[in-house]
Each structure stands twice: as C-alpha cells, then as structure tokens.
Amino acid sequence: MEFVLQLIAILAVALGTFLSTLGVLGYIRLPDVYTRLHAVGKVGVFGVVGLLVGAVVWTPLGVGKGIVLIAFLLLAGPVTAHSLASAAYRIGIVPVGLIRDDLTRDLEAQPALSASQTSQPPDPAA
C-alpha cells in the first residue's frame, strides 16, 4: 500500500512539473496576450492540481484540505482568465491575426452591454 501511494505521488508530481514547464514556455514564446493567457491557464489548472493529487495521497491529514484547494483552483482559474481577457479587449489590445470581430459589432449595436460606457474617463481638455 505504501509502495502504491508513493508511486502515485511520484507520477503526479512529475506530470504536474512537466505541465507547469510547458505553460511557462508558452507564456514566454507565444505572440499575443490572449494566447499567453491560454498557456498560463494550464499552469493553474493542470500543474498545481497534479502536485495536489500527490499531496492528497502522500501527506497525512492532507486529504480534505487538498480536495478543497483543488475545487477552488478549478473554479478560480477560468474566472481569472476570463476577466483578464475581457480587460485586455476593453482597453483595446487587438489579437494577432484577427479576421472577424463579433464583440465590437454587438457592443456598437447595443451600447448598454458595454460596461465602460457608463464610466467614461474624465476629459483632460475640460
């Protein structure tokens, strides 16, 4: 039993470290804010969760805390990536190789959807 738990911990830690390295490599090499966000999401969702699976099977008293932290990470990772991508779009960063932009068309058709429409920055000339 000890042997099997140690084997699971070794495999989980090795897989998590490998996926974290891949995510950081994508953060360094990819050309665009949006594609970089795609790579960074992999570190939070797969890398740390892999390490936590190892911690759940091998750390004493770590089962409940580990499962709570896994659930929190699986909820928080997509929310963070979505908010960062939305902020990047709204401050005007254009994706590389953009060929069709439905969100700008929808925001111009319905200005009430735009959050920044209600809070215009103060005019420096006034």
Question: Which residues of this protein are in contact with other proteins, per CB under 8 A?
Answer: 2-3, 6-7, 9-10, 13-14, 16-17, 20-21, 23-24, 27-28, 33, 36-37, 40, 43-44, 47-48, 51-52, 54-55, 58-62, 65-66, 68-69, 72-73, 76, 79-80, 83-84, 86-88, 90-91, 93, 115-116, 119, 121
Question: What whole-number distance in Å separates Cα of residue 24 and Cα of residue 41?
Answer: 10
Tokens coding 22? 């891949």
Provide the sign of the torsion angle of the four alpha carbons 15, 21, 27, 29, taken in this order. Answer: negative
Least Å distance, CB 118 to other proteins, is 8
**Residue 2 neighbours by CB distance under 10 Å:** 7
Least Å distance, CB 105 to other proteins, is 19
